[in-house]
């Protein structure tokens, strides 16, 4: 739940009034991923590796399928995902927490 709140807060604050501009979004997606990763690490969750993947695209009556695959232990690994939309763009952020022994 704490990671979901971080995703909503970061994506909303960065992108709420932002129009889609390819060059600017390319830079912003890196910044957003770093901010999310830093805020999740501040939660001090022990023994987990954090991976953040973000996508930003133009909202223009098209569809997009995004998939991911990884080695997964359902007993200890987890993820959180959030989709944000405004009038001109969409953003998807995924946070994967992988247990590290």
Report pTM.
0.90
pLDDT in tens, 73-99: 999 999 999 999 999 999 999 999 999
**CATH class of the domain at 1-99:** alpha beta
Domain limits, the chain: 1-99
**What average pLDDT does range 65-69 have in this prediction?**
85
Helix (H) or strand (E) holding 56: strand 48-58
Interior angle at CA 54, CA 16 and CA 20, nearest 5:
40
How far, in Å, CA of 69 to CA of 60, rounded?
A: 27
Question: What band does 61 get if pLDDT is binned at 50, 70 and 90?
Answer: confident
């Amino acid at each position: 739940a704490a990671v979901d709140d971080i995703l909503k807060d970061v994506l909303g604050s960065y992108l709420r009034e932002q129009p889609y501009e390819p060059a600017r979004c390319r830079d912003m997606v890196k910044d957003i991923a770093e901010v999310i990763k830093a805020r999740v690490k501040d939660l001090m969750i022990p023994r987990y590796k954090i991976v953040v993947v973000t996508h930003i695209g133009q909202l223009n009556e098209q569809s997009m399928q995004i998939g991911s695959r990884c080695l997964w232990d359902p007993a200890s690994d987890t993820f959180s995902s959030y989709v944000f939309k405004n009038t001109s763009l969409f953003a998807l952020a995924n946070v994967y927490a992988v247990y590290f022994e």
